[in-house]
Amino acid sequence: HPMELVDFCTRSVEQMNVTTGDRHHIRLIAHTEKISALMDSQLLRQILNNLFSNAIKYSPQGGEITLELNTESRPITPNLQQPESLVVFRIKDPGIGIPQQDLQQLFESFQRATNVGTIRGTGLGLAIVKKCVELHRGHIEIESEIDRGSTFIVKIPLQTPSYDVMLAEI
């Protein structure tokens, strides 16, 4: 059953802002009014909550965090017979950033970057996020600059026909 992502993200952001209080604020920037997608709402909640909590944890108090929502279409290639619509989530923070040489391992369990200092964590959040993204045949990447901030970019096909099969694999 399809879900509507703009409303869902609006509620997720509001909920996170209430829980976090005044220390941080997340702003939603939606480039379209409605996005209908075949996604699992619990998995999407896992993705957003983990990325929001990282953005908050690794950013200075008062810094603005944004969730940008957009759609994109992937052109036809030899492997792709029809153009495919994707939803793109960009979670951007003004935080400590991630050293280039640490980026590759961060999606593995218990891996943390070398610049975390005294900020606590177990290193599981991003491993969970990656799993949830892959269950939707999606893709995640990071753009980051030390001491300037990070952007986590998640792209997920709007139609995921084999999704139920993939869920059964967990």
Residues that bind ligand ATP (CB under 6 A): 50, 54-55, 58, 93, 95-98, 106, 112-113, 116, 121-127, 150
Query: Any idea which residue has 């792209």 for tokens?
Result: 155
The rounded distance, in Å, linking the Cα atoms of 137 and 119 is: 32
Q: Which residue from 130, 138, 143, 121 is spatially nearest to 54, judged by alpha carbons?
A: 121
As given in the structure block, the two tokens for residue 127 are 């491993």
Q: Which of 97, 125, 138, 149 binds Mg ion (CB under 5 A)?
A: 125
Pick 97 or 125: Cβ nearer Mg ion = 125
Q: Considering beta carbons, is residue 125 or 157 the nearer one to Mg ion?
A: 125
Q: Kindly write out the interface string for residues 25-54 of this chain, putting x where it contacts Mg ion by CB under 5 A and - elsewhere.
A: -----------------------------x
* DSSP state letter for 124: -
Contact between residue 49 and residue 13 where contact means Cβ atoms under 8 Å apart: no
Residue, CB closest to ligand ATP: 121
Contacting residues toward Mg ion, per CB under 5 A: 54, 125
